[in-house]
Amino acid sequence: MPVQMTRKGGIFGIESPDGKYVYYVGEGNPRPLMKVPVEGGEETQVLPTITGGDFAVVDEGIYFIPAPNQMQFSIHFLSFASGKTTRIADLGDPGYLISVSPGPRGASRSILYGQHEPFTANLMLVENFR
């Protein structure tokens, strides 16, 4: 039987690696990153802004793409241990987070993200048509 997890709306739900929380993008403008205990309980804001569903939860924290600053996109990391957010990489053009590779504690991880290519168009001239 399905169980409703959120009461204020939400999209892009992901369960935490330890199975204790569901992280999701909440309602609003800008859209916040929220969490709710799997067992039920209060919904709480984790981050004030997130782009689309661009976040990945790992044991140590959350990798995410916040709303852009002057159309400059970047990947950030929120550490659960320190509560601090660190910029990991600048993307420049819009991109979207796909996944973060698992790795042992303290080891480097790989981040897979998609890069939107600017739309291009060519103007063509057709002459002497009937």
CATH number of the CATH domain containing 31: 2.120.10.30
Say if 80 falls within a structural domain.
Answer: yes
Domain enclosing residue 101, as ranges: 11-115
3-state class (DSSP) for residue 41: coil
The answer to whether residue 124 is domain-embedded is: no
Domain assignment of residue 1, yes or no: no
Q: For residue 35, which of 80, 74, 77, 2 has the smallest C-alpha distance? A: 80
Question: What domain count does the chain have?
Answer: 1
Cβ 2 vs Cβ 13: under 8 Å: no
pLDDT at 89: 83
Higher pLDDT, 19 or 120: 19
Residue 120 lies in a domain: no
* pLDDT tens sequence across 45-67: 999 998 888 899 988 899 898 88
* Residues ≥6 apart with Cβ < 8 Å to 24: 5, 6, 10, 11, 12, 13, 14, 33, 34, 35, 36
Q: Has residue 2 been placed in a domain?
A: no
Average the pLDDT over 30-34 and give the result: 91
pLDDT tens-digit series, residues 105-121: 655 577 777 766 666 55
